[in-house]
Amino acid sequence: IESIKSTEAERAPYAPFTTSTLQQTASSRLGFAPSRTMSIAQKLYEKGHITYMRTDSTNIGVDAKAEIKNVVEKLYGATYHVERVYKSKSKNAQEAHEAVRPTHATLMNAGSTDEEKRLYKLIWERTVSSQMASAKVMRTKVIAKADDKKVPSFDTNGSVLIFDGWLAADPAGRGEDALLPKMEEGQDIKVLKISSEMKFTQPPNRYTEAGLVKELEK
């Protein structure tokens, strides 16, 4: 191992759900089509579990923020809470309603069917995590070189979680971040396998419904 470079970085939480971001996240995480998401959300709204699900606003009301603060401090501790204000990126945003959020943040689970429970959990996690501290990660780049000077260096990137912050409430928000083992400069490593692949430039995939929603919003 020739060098190990580490830099500390922060990851801020996502904004609370609007209609379109709810559709996109439910599609990627739960596999729900936008129409199905809205149908399930409608039922949750009619039962009084969530606020109105057709909104462009990322705002959360003062009373709701106070309730979320109590929930965060009770579940994770005072150091995890940070009050945040979000602004809509859309110039034509209709912000008459609040963001899509649970009517009571103290209720971690709600819904009578499996689909309703899964969508409610997604909304709860996003809402609560939006008012939490940033996660701290140590981003690391490792460069390895061969004894033969003609062989180019190999490198890999990954990260180590230092402080989970908002990821405590929304673990899936981390994504597919590579975790690296502990390594030191000058350490000898064995080559287990070398393979070469031919790559072809592929045209973009067809739109999913959620992908189309995201593109139209742009």
By annotation, the residues acting in catalysis are 52
Dihedral of alpha carbons 94, 97, 98, 103, sign? negative
Contact 140, 159 (CB under 8 A): yes
DSSP assignment of 141-196 equals EEEE--SSTTSPPEEEEEEEEEE-GGGGT-GGGG-SPPPPPP--TT----------
7: which 2 tokens? 């830099």
> Rounded to whole angstroms, how far apart are CA atoms 208 and 214?
10
DSSP 61: -
Residues 6+ away with beta carbon under 8 Å from 102: 49, 50, 51, 110, 120, 123, 124, 127
162: which 2 tokens? 């230092």
